[in-house]
Amino acid sequence: MKRRRYIAWIFLAPSLILYLYFFVYPTIEAVRISFYRWSGFTANMEFIGFENFSKLISDDSFLAALKNTLLLLIIGGICIFLLAFIFSLFLGSGIKGKKVYRTIIFFPFIIAPVVHAIYWGLLVYNPRTGMLNQFFKLLHIETLAKFTFTDIRHIFGSVLFVVSWSSVGFYLILLMAGIERIPPYLYEAARIEGATELQMFFNITLPLVKEVLVIAMIFWGINAIKMFDLLYAFGGILPPRSLWTNAIYLYIVGFGKRDPIFQLGYASAIGVVTLLLVVIIAFIIRKLIRREIYEY
C-alpha cells in the first residue's frame, strides 16, 4: 500500500495547532515587545527600535549575568557529565545495589529548590554552624574553617556545586539508558582481544552512546541557560547579584520582586538574546557530536 504523505500532517496537527497558537504566537508578541519601551501597566508602548539591544551590550549587569550563565553551562556541564559518566561506569560494572544507588543519587533532583536553599545555606555553607566549616575546624585547617562559602565572591561556585550535585542523578539515568542498550557481546569481544576498561570506554561506550549524549547535553544546555528556581530561592528574600544569570536578570528587569523596574521591553530583549544563545549552543552541540545512528 502506498504511504499517503498527507497522513503525516494529521499526525502532526494536534501538537502543531496548540504549539502555534499558545506558544509561537505569544513568542512573536514577546519578540515584538523587545522593540518597545513598556512598563506593562498601560497600553502605551513606545517604539524604540534596537535601542534595547544596544543597551544590553553596554549593561554591566547583563554582561555579568551572561558570564554567569555561560559559566554555569560549561563548568556545570563538565562537572555533571564527568560525574554522570563515572557513576554510570561504576553502576554498570555489575556491582550490587545498582538500583538503590541510582534512586538515591537521583533524589535531590526532585526536591523543591526552597528546601535546597535552606539546607545548603544554613546547614552546610554557614560559616558558624555549617557542616563544612565544622569539618575543617575538626581537621584544624584554619583557613578553610573560616572560609565563607556563600559570600559575594564564592556563592556562585558554591551554588554551582549544589546544582551539579542535584542534577547528576538525572543525567546519570539518561546515560545509563543509553549505555545499557549496548550489547554486551561487543564488550566481551573486546575483552577477549585484551582491551582495558579505559580503551573499551573510549572505543565502544562513547561512540555508541552518542545519541543519548546529544539529547542529554542539549537538555542540560537548555536547562542551564533557563535555570531559575534554584538560583532564585538561594538568596532567601531575593537572589544575590552574584547568582544572577540571564533568566534571573530578565525576571528582575521585567517584573522584579522588590524593585519596580518594570521594563518589559528590555526584559524581552534579554529573552531574545537568551533564545539565540540556546539555539547557538544546541547547534554547536549537535555539530560537535555528529549524529550517527548505529543499528545493531
Positions 28 through 57 that interact with another protein (CB under 8 A):
29-30, 33, 39-42, 44, 55
Binding segment for another protein among 71-79, 136-144, 187-195, 230-238 (CB under 8 A)?
A: 230-238
Q: How many CB atoms lie within 10 A of CB 5?
A: 7
Q: Is 66 in the site for another protein (CB under 8 A)?
A: no
Distance from the Cα of residue 279 to its chain's centroid: 14
Please list every residue from 113 through 152 that binds another protein, using CB under 8 A. 113-119, 121-123, 125-129, 131, 133, 146-152
Q: C-alpha grid cell for residue 216?
A: 542529554
Helix, strand, coil percentages, rounded to 5, for the chain: 70, 0, 30
- Residue in 159, 174, 158 with CA at minimum distance from that of residue 87: 174
| Strand pairing class (46-47; 36-37) | antiparallel
In angstroms, the CA 280 to CA 286 distance is 10
Smallest gap from residue 71 Cβ to another protein (A): 18
Q: Is 181 in the site for another protein (CB under 8 A)?
A: yes
Using CB under 8 A, which of 70, 79, 144, 177 touches another protein? 177
Binding residues for another protein, rule CB under 8 A, total 135
Smallest gap from residue 271 Cβ to another protein (A): 4
Q: HSE, CB side, 13 Å, CA atoms: give it for residue 233.
A: 17
Q: Is 284 in the site for another protein (CB under 8 A)?
A: no
**Partners of 36 in the beta sheet?**
47
Using CB under 8 A, which of 58, 138, 192, 194 touches another protein? 58
Binding segment for another protein among 73-81, 135-143, 186-194, 240-248 (CB under 8 A)?
A: 240-248
What angle do helix axes 60-71 and 264-288 make, rounded to 10 degrees?
30
Q: Is 161 in the site for another protein (CB under 8 A)?
A: no
- Residue in 194, 195, 214, 213 with CA at minimum distance from that of residue 204: 195
Smallest gap from residue 256 Cβ to another protein (A): 7
Closer to another protein by Cβ: residue 204 or 252: 252
Using CB under 8 A, which of 47, 50, 107, 135 touches another protein? 107
Q: Is 282 in the site for another protein (CB under 8 A)?
A: yes
Closer to another protein by Cβ: residue 76 or 169: 169
- Residue in 229, 244, 233 with CA at minimum distance from that of residue 66: 244
In angstroms, the CA 279 to CA 277 distance is 5
Closer to another protein by Cβ: residue 76 or 117: 117
